Amino acid sequence: MSTTYRTLGRSGLRVAPFGLGTMTFGQSGWGCDEEVAGQVLDTYLGWGGNLIDTADIYAGGESERIIGRYLADRGARADVVLATKYSMGARPGHPNAGGNGRVAMRGALEGSLERLGTDHVDLYLVHAWDGTTPVEEVMRALDEVVRAGLVRHVALSGVPAWYAARAATIAQWRGYEPPVAVQLEYSLAERGLEHEFPGLCREVGLGLMTWGPLANGLLAGAYSSVAHAEDPEEAELPDGRIKATSARRNPATDKRNERTWAVVRALEELAAEVGATPAQVAIAWLRDRPAVTTVLLGARRPEQLEQNLRAADLELPAEARTRLDELSVPPRTVPYGFMPWAQSLMNADLEEDTL
């Protein structure tokens, strides 16, 4: 396996093409305990990875504690790009504990630094847009924690494209620390970000950090029998997060639909053709999508992560990519169905490489 690095957005921060997502750490039911989490971290760092992504909400803060103890025990803090997030720390009776405001941010950051056992984080992210706090307040507060030496770089997660564009513009206009990345879900089962974000990232200089490359295991190969069932909706689900949360049918964790089952079947066939696993094929497809800087991989076991990291060396044939593209293409919505036709009329006399 090989490891190369990419700069994150318009910054000098170098990150591996695969980061380690740690939502599973300390999570009961579908996660892993501290001992196994340490083995997962050993596997990732041994591969040459350097980006560890967590959040204050993961396992009620236990993910951060596990990472902090691990880095302290091995003296490895300086070897990693440590990223965490805030926004979702709301508690009954404490209206300013959650959301994107300055008070919530400072309180959340203090808690994260204590749990991580460090005096700074390398990347601090707004976890999700709260729909309330003015973007000016968010960017000013992020700039303050950078100037205070508590944070090195800032980024946005779970925000609309217009919000990310406005945040980047305000930071440039006001001289605030600019966001260097956006973090969003992206996979063969969820391609909605393609309408706006690749173009946005190129235009304003943001790296694209993606999570959920296997759609919570749906694309990893374990659901092949379900995909081939006469009625996938009635088939028995394998143990995992989708089964554990299936009663809620949360779109953030459950991507089951006809289009996705077709992708699952295609991944099985293509994996056999190229001598890889379905998960490796799905990850390799995502790794080279436009604007993607790093793909966050989560794991419950070290051997699972080791297998998925092998996607770094997998080059998919062009016909395999085309097949996956066509099977998984999302429906076009306004104005994206209209624009290609209109632009073809307006730009008919332009050479293709000037568009």
pLDDT category at 212 given cuts 50, 70, 90 is very high
Res 113 pLDDT > 70: yes
CA–CA separation, 95 and 127 (whole Å): 17
For 116-154, what is each residue's pLDDT tens digit? Answer: 999 999 999 999 999 999 999 999 999 999 999 999 999
For 310-345, what is each residue's pLDDT tens digit? Answer: 999 999 999 999 999 999 998 888 998 898 889 999
CA–CA separation, 135 and 159 (whole Å): 11
How high is the pLDDT of residue 160? 97
Q: Rg of the chain over CA atoms, in angstroms?
A: 20
Q: Are 213 and 295 in contact (CB under 8 A)?
A: yes
Res 9 pLDDT > 90: yes
Q: How many CB atoms lie within 10 A of CB 256?
A: 20
How high is the pLDDT of residue 250? 77
Domains and CATH numbers, the chain: 6-347 (3.20.20.100)
How high is the pLDDT of residue 104? 97
**Own/partner pairs for 87-95, CB < 8 Å, 24+ apart?**
87/126, 87/127, 87/128, 87/130, 87/158, 88/55, 88/56, 88/57, 88/127, 88/128, 89/56, 89/57
Which of the following is catalytic: 58, 70, 86, 176?
A: 58
Residue 44 catalytic?
no
The rounded percent of the chain whose pLDDT value lies above 70 is 98
Least confident residue range of 103-112, 177-186, 191-200, 234-243:
234-243
Residue 313 backbone phi and psi in degrees, to 5: -105, 10
The pTM (predicted TM-score) of the whole model is: 0.94
Q: Please compute, for residue 304, the number of CA atoms within 13 A of its CA located in the half-sphere on the CB side.
A: 17
CA–CA separation, 294 and 50 (whole Å): 11
pLDDT category at 271 given cuts 50, 70, 90 is very high
pLDDT category at 285 given cuts 50, 70, 90 is very high
For 228-260, what is each residue's pLDDT tens digit? Answer: 988 888 888 888 778 777 777 777 778 899 999
Residue 295 backbone phi and psi in degrees, to 5: -110, 125
Report CA torsion sign: 111, 117, 120, 124.
negative
First to last CA, the chain: 37
